[in-house]
Structure 1
Amino acid sequence: MTTGTDRAVHGIEDIRAAVARARSAGGAWTASGWRERRAALLLWKRELAGRADEFAEVIAAETGKPVQDARSEVLLTLVHLDWAARNARRVLGRRRVSSGLLSIHQRALLAYRPLGVIGVIGPWNYPLYTPMGSIGYALAAGNAVVFKPSELTPGVGLLLARSFGEAVPGHADLLQAVTGPGSTGAALAGADGPAGVDKVAFTGSPGTARKVAAACAATLTPLLAECGGKDAVLVAADADLDAAADAIVWGAMGNAGQTCAGVERVYAVASVHEELCSRIVSRARALAPGDAYGPLTLPSQLGVVERHVKQALVDGGTARLGGPDALRASVLGPVVLSDVPEDSPAVTEETFGPVVVVNRVRDMDEAVERANASAYSLGAAVFTRSRAAGLAVAGRLGSGAVSVNSVLGFAAIPSLPFGGAGESGYGRIHGEEGLRAFAAPHSVTVRRFAPVVDLTSFSTPREKVARAVELGRKLHARF
């Protein structure tokens, strides 16, 4: 199987040609209407489901993750594509909205039109699920897509584009993949001059997002950026500690910790901190690296993980499990740290490895304060036996999504939007907001009858206009 550097490197002229083909195909796609687009996307979904093993094998080969994890990624992709296809018309189709008393003589209509061609720049950690949160929703909204997968996972992108053409042969150019290093993504965003896309959806590091944003700014091309997280789990004194520990270990160690909304910080109320640490360590120690999760996909990430762990210990933290020695195997062993100062890199920076910091807090107020102190604001979780308390704490967290008594519960619910702020980026994928992210609102008014006082005509006597305006002012002054 050819991967990585065996793929072609596409430059700006290749990208412009792909965008031109996509735009041509997009015209027919838009004109085909909601019903046909839904049918086509559901055909593609069935094609993907029938080829799940093939996709899982390519994902596993390029990322190193276990095949069972790759199969779960395919399933999540299917769930989101199905929702986008079935709900696009409801969310984006023309509907009547209130005209208000002043414009009661007008019928007000709102619809959403596709933007045109969407450039999607995908990551390597979830090379199918994550970019499809943009690709599937953009297609459902009536757009064409040019997809640049990570240079570490080009095979997934090429297979995805090919599968669409095979499932929906009449629209083969609607989804195209271009491959290459970061320079290819930069060209798609417009760093080498206008590439012709109407919006860019990017997933990656905050540093790279800034470069993409700068390239998009030159042509005022809108950008949707999902840039990672430093997600926190807050554990109350009354929490089910077994459930919390189980979820924390899965959220922190799954995919070798290479999950943008994975668990990297835990804030546990002091009265349960020791017991929670013990249960987390017990579960993490039972994991078999290489079976439970695979290696780091990006070799250079090892340096970041090592720096965070070593500095945490220098700063006074404690290694409850693992430590620097756990980072010397081909597949890193799990590392559980506690009592790490809040200004240590293991707390402030995205680690993206199988490492979790479990710190004690006075109470849930302090837990919320510390969770919100991060520059990232993607996801979070709260564990408590009180549903009301869990919802109250969730409402105080600044993250874009919160799970109560689970981690990453929002990832498998396609009706919920996903995204953050700050270093986590901006914009939303998934759900109704995800569909609207790839469409432009289109407002239409239809005059139903002549108003009693026409405020948009010079033929209306000024005195009559003045009386009508004064009446309106008095009404608003009272209510």
Structure 2
Amino acid sequence: MSPHAELVSRLRAAWLSGKTRPMEYRVAQLEALGRFLDEKQQDILEATAADMRKPPFEVEVSELSICRSELNHTLNNLGAWMKDKHVEKNWATQLDSAFIRKDPYGVVLIIGPWNYPINLLLVPLIGAIAAGNCVVMKPSEITRNVERLVAETLPRYLDEDCFAVVTAGVEETTRLLENKFDYIFFTGSPSVGRIVMTAAAKHLTPVTLELGGKNPCYVSDSCNVQNVARRVAWGRFFNAGQTCVAPDYVLCSAEMQEKLLPALREAITEFYGPNPRESPDFGRIVGDRQFQRVQALLHSGHTAIGGQTDAEERYIAPTVLVEVQQNDPVMQEEIFGPILPILTVDSVDDAIAFINARERPLVLYVFSSRKEVVNRVLERTSSGGFCANDTIMHMTIPSLPFGGIGQSGLGSYHGRSSFETFSHQRSALLRGAGRETLNTPRYPPYAPHRLPLLRAATETKRRATCLLL
């Protein structure tokens, strides 16, 4: 028997009992989750500091605040989201009721990552609870202090019959995936995403995969260089660059690079002082293996800013690389560290061609004071999300779906999208038991003269259109 099979079976029995379906139950569990965030706030700050030396301000902004916003947005709208959606009917069903019911999937598995271990575990959890599911949560084992905190304290706030936290390493997680879940939500790397999807395929389990990618940032010649530098530096070096939506590389003209470099240097000094290693506002790489991987990327191109490292502290300075080639190691994988390569292009069309020649990213950034440039990039590229003249801020809007496309992910969540991700769109037609005479034309023995009547009763007709030339 697979590990945790008994746990999954127990949660499925609770779901089948209908316990999680009433709105009052869902609201009570969501409010309990809110109490966890409030009462364990200091513990969360201490755990994230111990794991990654995360600045408290960054934890408040990227972990706690986003979770609270998502939670409140869900509580504010849950009643409307749960309502049946009545749909347009054909003539034959005019006297009947046709609607879409948002059904919970059942027992879902949420696997969280280490870079934002609270946000990226609890925000999907909010959607799963709102949709009426039972949930098994698997926090990342890499951020051990947060993992311990979640495993020991979160179950005290939620109904243990319906929600559980499982701690597991790679081998144990692989065995956990052998169980039959009704939905799997995974956040992590594309390589592990393939493993999750393969395991899900054995049970035909639907999945959401929130993966990473190399997010381009095109900077046009028409923009405020100081503003661009501050916003790009903040997005790139927030959480020591360990952010799936961080700008991964900059594309700009050679002339813009000459202006951007001193502006980036000034922004980094303004944010973190002359020695970022001493700044309380700059974090550390999460582990030794991750540190060694990111450090190796520093050998690409030429270091224009930063480049200092300290293996004992797992410190890598905010770094900007120039003279980077397309085949350099830093351009072959998601960086996930405080390194910003700059590559030069001759025009916006060259930037678009460069972006389209690669896997579709999780988010695409463009900076320009000209709307036509922004719209050109938006219309001629494809990405999970898009943000103009800033970085990361699209993540703060619960009503915007968040997710990747292609290599960067499958499915989306946040706000209503989270509720819908964890809900099965169940179609329902409720017909009257009488009026049998109206059904006679469809029964054998068939008669050709009945076809026009059946077509009129069941076919959807195209509406007339009026084009103003």
Once residues 335 and 109 of structure 1 are traced to their aligned partners in structure 2, the CA distance between those partners, rounded to angstroms, is: 55
Is residue 44–residue 163 contact of structure 1 (8 Å, CA) maintained in 2? no
Is residue 415–residue 430 contact of structure 1 (8 Å, CA) maintained in 2? yes
Q: Which runs of 5+ in 1 are unaligned?
A: 1-10
Is residue 230–residue 377 contact of structure 1 (8 Å, CA) maintained in 2? yes
Residue 241 (1) aligns with residue 231 (2)? no
Map of 2:284 onto structure 1: 295
Q: Secondary structure at the match of 2:324?
A: coil
Residue 359 (1) aligns with residue 347 (2)? no
Counting matched residue pairs gives: 456
Map of 1:188 onto structure 2: 176
**Could you list the per-position Cα deviations for residues 54-73 of structure 1 after superposition, in whole angstroms to 9, with x for gaps in the alignment?**
22212222233223322221
Shift of 1:39: 3.8
Call closer, same or farther: CA 1:166–1:178 in 2, change over 3 Å.
closer
Call closer, same or farther: CA 1:478–1:159 in 2, change over 3 Å.
same
Match of 2:294 among 305, 311, 316: 305
Once residues 141 and 461 of structure 2 are traced to their aligned partners in structure 1, the CA distance between those partners, rounded to angstroms, is: 62
Is residue 202–residue 225 contact of structure 1 (8 Å, CA) maintained in 2? yes
**Aligned residue type for 1:306:** Q
Call closer, same or farther: CA 1:326–1:60 in 2, change over 3 Å.
closer
**Aligned residue type for 1:186:** T
Call closer, same or farther: CA 1:180–1:241 in 2, change over 3 Å.
same
Q: Secondary structure at the match of 1:186?
A: helix
Map of 1:8 onto structure 2: none
Shift of 1:207: 1.3
Once residues 97 and 155 of structure 2 are traced to their aligned partners in structure 1, the CA distance between those partners, rounded to angstroms, is: 41
Is residue 229–residue 424 contact of structure 1 (8 Å, CA) maintained in 2? yes
Once residues 140 and 463 of structure 2 are traced to their aligned partners in structure 1, the CA distance between those partners, rounded to angstroms, is: 57
Once residues 226 and 258 of structure 2 are traced to their aligned partners in structure 1, the CA distance between those partners, rounded to angstroms, is: 13
**Superposition RMSD in Å:** 2.8
**Aligned residue type for 2:283:** G
Map of 1:78 onto structure 2: 68
Map of 2:102 onto structure 1: 112
Once residues 258 and 137 of structure 1 are traced to their aligned partners in structure 2, the CA distance between those partners, rounded to angstroms, is: 24
Map of 1:3 onto structure 2: none
Residue 199 (1) aligns with residue 188 (2)? no
Map of 2:381 onto structure 1: 397
**Aligned residue type for 1:349:** E
Once residues 266 and 451 of structure 1 are traced to their aligned partners in structure 2, the CA distance between those partners, rounded to angstroms, is: 68
Q: Secondary structure at the match of 2:172?
A: helix
Q: Secondary structure at the match of 1:277?
A: helix
* Range with bigger deviation, 249-258 or 103-112: 103-112
* Range with bigger deviation, 76-85 or 446-455: 446-455
Q: Map 1:7-18 onto structure 2 (within 5 A).
A: 12-13=2-3, 15-18=4-7
Once residues 477 and 77 of structure 1 are traced to their aligned partners in structure 2, the CA distance between those partners, rounded to angstroms, is: 45
**Aligned residue type for 2:453:** A
**Aligned residue type for 1:252:** R
Map of 1:408 onto structure 2: 392
Is residue 99–residue 427 contact of structure 2 (8 Å, CA) maintained in 1? yes
Which TM-score applies when normalising by structure 2?
0.88
**Could you list the per-position Cα deviations for residues 82-117 of structure 1 after superposition, in whole angstroms to 9, with x for gaps in the alignment?**
223333332343121111346434421111111111
Residue 153 (1) aligns with residue 143 (2)? yes
Map of 2:237 onto structure 1: 253
**Could you list the per-position Cα deviations for residues 251-292 of structure 1 after superposition, in whole angstroms to 9, with x for gaps in the alignment?**
111111111111111112444221012211222245223523
Q: Secondary structure at the match of 2:425?
A: strand
Match of 2:166 among 159, 175, 178: 178
Is residue 380–residue 399 contact of structure 1 (8 Å, CA) maintained in 2? yes
Call closer, same or farther: CA 1:120–1:254 in 2, change over 3 Å.
same
**Aligned residue type for 1:333:** A
Which TM-score applies when normalising by structure 1?
0.87
Match of 2:368 among 348, 363, 384: 384
Residue 93 (1) aligns with residue 78 (2)? no
Call closer, same or farther: CA 1:395–1:174 in 2, change over 3 Å.
farther
**Could you list the per-position Cα deviations for residues 327-374 of structure 1 after superposition, in whole angstroms to 9, with x for gaps in the alignment?**
657211111012312222212311111100122222222222223333
Match of 1:221 among 190, 195, 205: 205
